[in-house]
């Protein structure tokens, strides 16, 4: 049963926003400036999307934004729990904030997201990080106005990390980080319980948004000039199963494909066990759906896949890829891989390498297994040493780097359509954008092209990106 947050509750939160707004106005009068907020996001696109909601609420309340923790009146970290290093980073940052807060005690520090949905983490924060004022879990995001009001009124530490299967909240403000591209959550939570993964515990059960809410949101985005949307969910292939009998992800994609103004539709993440022939057909038929797919396989050994509770074999995975390539020959593929799952042997690992060679992904996201408290795999023993695991990880990267480079080389000399994201992060004189297949293309050009589609002639392929020059045909608006 999907629980939608009631209209009354949303109205109640809006009343808290109004209350905070009055405070912010008084602050502006006494300080000669609006109060400043800093947000930082760790983890996946789902979290990025949640941060856009947090920023939407803060903006509605009257905050302006800064990137400088020393200048911020409120800092909110939206945290991730998927691997230990994501959590370590946040603890590191909290250490730095402690010093800043000693000099400016009125500063408010808030933590939210997946990491604080775990009891052992919140306990540690309460004990050792007493300078944190506000802790709210993934299920309390829509209550941010009320919680923030509580901090402003009382000054006591406020914690809301109720355990829950989760809700859906519609109608709260969003502040998007990009004008031409947008993430749209179509569902929340996960029911798969892969044995290594913390996500189902911190994000609750799978719950789908109503199709009219999703379509309405995307139509609004398109009207505002957004041309690329990425539909988000931990397993988008099971969209709708909890609320509809005869409406699934393929149907949703077809409906989004009809929305005027959009040019590119993407989606993450697909789970191989639920990736259907119907979806392959839908991807092939819908013109705006990008010829690109992220399909995590995690490991190549059938025994490890069973231990991971993934619900497919290596051969079943390869078979889906074969069918996909047969229908969409130029499809670009990416995946997630875990190296060093507890019981993995060197022999198992060779099966992972075999999948890389057989599929030839355009790029991969590879992770060394990280033990997550409370997950079934945390109880398993390791076969390989840390050293063996790191050696395997390096070998995996080496092989994939070769394949990525080979796949990029194909584009040298071609003219490709690129949606310009902005100035390149590595070279301030270059613009950076992405092709339909998500490959990054860097090229010289004026900033005025940001957010537009241009044609670029690829001059040089690297492992992770392509270099090019604007082609004579110039702008690729249709
Ligand atoms: N729902 C998505 C993404 C989940 S998290 C999916 O199923 O693909 C993103 C990736 O993090 C996973 O695909 C997995 O490769 C990795 N991951 C999850 N838990 C991990 C752990 N305990 N250690 C290392 N990597 C992990
Ligand atoms: Fe984690 Fe598996 Fe769910 Fe992905 S499908 S979020 S890896 S439990
Ligand atoms: Fe991390 Fe939570 Fe996403 S654990 S990967 S931010 S769902």
Per CATH, which fold does 415-475 belong to?
OB fold (Dihydrolipoamide Acetyltransferase, E2P) (2.40.50)
Among 298, 175, 283, which Cα is nearest to 231's? Answer: 283
pLDDT tens-place string over residues 367-383 = 999 999 999 999 999 99
Among 138, 121, 273, which Cα is nearest to 194's? Answer: 273
CA of 55 to the centre of ligand 2 (A): 27
CA of 383 to the centre of ligand 1 (A): 21
**What are the sequence ranges of the domains in the chain?**
7-160, 181-409, 415-475
Helix (H, G, I), strand (E, B) or coil at 211: helix
**Measured distance CA(476)–CA(341) in Å, rounded:** 45
According to the model, what pLDDT value does residue 373 have?
95
Give 5's DSSP letter: P
Helix (H, G, I), strand (E, B) or coil at 375: coil
According to the model, what pLDDT value does residue 474 have?
62
Percent of the chain with pLDDT strictly greater than 90? 90
Among 393, 212, 407, 191, which Cα is nearest to 309's? Answer: 191
Tell me which residue has its CA closest to atom 4 in ligand 1: 234
Distance set, CA 352 to CA 162, 192, 284, 376, 382 (Å): 39, 21, 28, 22, 17
- Does ligand 3 have an atom closer than 6 angstroms to the CB of 79? no
Give the atom of ligand 3 at the shortest distance from the alpha carbon of 79: 6
According to the model, what pLDDT value does residue 133 have?
94
According to the model, what pLDDT value does residue 476 have?
67
Residues of the chain with pLDDT under 50: none
Angle at 396 between CA 395 and CA 399, to 5 degrees: 85
Among 354, 335, 266, which Cα is nearest to 297's? Answer: 335
Give the atom of ligand 1 at the shortest distance from the alpha carbon of 337: 15
According to the model, what pLDDT value does residue 477 have?
64
According to the model, what pLDDT value does residue 382 have?
97
The hierarchical CATH code for the domain 181-409 is 3.80.30.20
pLDDT tens-place string over residues 261-301 = 999 999 999 999 999 999 999 999 999 999 999 999 999 99
Place of tokens 């839908």: 282
**Measured distance CA(21)–CA(38) in Å, rounded:** 17
Query: Is pTM, for the whole model, over 0.85?
Result: yes
Tell me which residue has its CA closest to atom 4 in ligand 2: 234
Asked whether the beta carbons of 473 and 457 are under 8 A apart, the reply is no
Q: Which CATH class is domain 7-160?
A: alpha beta
Pocket residues: Cβ below 6 A from ligand 2: 190, 192-194, 197, 199-200, 234-235, 271
According to the model, what pLDDT value does residue 401 have?
98
């Amino acid at each position: 049963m999907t629980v939608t947050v009631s209209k009354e509750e949303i109205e109640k939160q809006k009343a808290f926003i109004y209350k905070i707004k009055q405070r912010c106005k008084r602050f502006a009068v006494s300080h000669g400036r609006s109060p400043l907020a800093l947000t930082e996001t760790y983890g996946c696109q789902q979290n990025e999307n949640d941060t856009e909601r947090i920023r939407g609420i803060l903006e509605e309340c009257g905050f302006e934004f800064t990137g400088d923790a020393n200048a911020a009146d409120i800092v909110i970290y939206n945290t991730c729990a998927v691997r230990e290093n994501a959590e370590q980073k946040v603890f590191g940052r909290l250490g730095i904030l402690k010093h800043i807060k000693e000099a400016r005690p009125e500063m408010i520090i808030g933590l939210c997201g997946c990491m604080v949905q775990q009891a052992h983490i919140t306990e540690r924060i309460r004990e050792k990080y007493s300078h944190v004022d506000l802790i709210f879990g993934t299920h309390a995001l829509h209550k941010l106005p009320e919680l923030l009001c509580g901090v402003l009124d009382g000054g006591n530490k406020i914690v809301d990390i109720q355990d829950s299967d989760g809700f859906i909240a519609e109608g709260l403000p969003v502040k998007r980080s990009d004008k031409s591209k947008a993430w749209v959550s179509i569902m929340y939570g996960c029911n798969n319980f892969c044995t290594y993964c913390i996500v189902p515990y911190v994000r609750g059960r799978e719950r789908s948004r109503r199709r009219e809410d999703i379509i309405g949101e995307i139509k609004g985005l398109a009207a505002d000039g957004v041309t690329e949307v990425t539909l988000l969910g931990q397993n988008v292939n099971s969209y709708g199963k909890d609320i509809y009998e005869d409406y699934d992800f393929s149907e949703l994609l077809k409906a989004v494909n009809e929305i005027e103004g959009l040019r590119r539709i993407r989606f993450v993440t697909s789970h191989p066990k639920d990736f259907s022939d119907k979806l392959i057909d839908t991807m092939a038929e819908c013109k705006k759906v990008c010829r690109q797919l992220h399909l995590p396989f995690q490991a190549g050994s059938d025994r490890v896949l069973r231990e991971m509770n993934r619900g497919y074999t290596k051969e079943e995975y390869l078979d889906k890829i074969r069918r996909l390539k047969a229908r969409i020959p130029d499809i670009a593929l990416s995946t997630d891989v875990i190296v060093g799952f507890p019981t993995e042997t060197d022999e198992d690992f060779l099966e992972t390498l075999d999948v890389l060679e057989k599929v030839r992904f355009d790029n991969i996201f590879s992770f060394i297994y990280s033990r997550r408290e409370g997950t079934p795999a945390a109880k398993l023993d390791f076969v390989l040493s840390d050293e063996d695991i790191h050696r395997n990880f390096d070998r995996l990267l080496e092989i994939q780097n070769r394949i990525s480079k080979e796949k990029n080389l194909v584009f040298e000399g071609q003219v490709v359509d690129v949606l310009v994201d902005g100035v390149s992060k590595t070279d301030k004189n270059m613009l950076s954008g992405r092709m339909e297949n998500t490959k990054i293309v860097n090229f010289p050009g004026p900033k005025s092209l940001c957010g537009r589609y241009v044609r670029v002639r690829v001059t040089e392929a690297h492992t992770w990106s392509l270099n090019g020059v604007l082609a004579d045909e110039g702008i690729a608006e249709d």
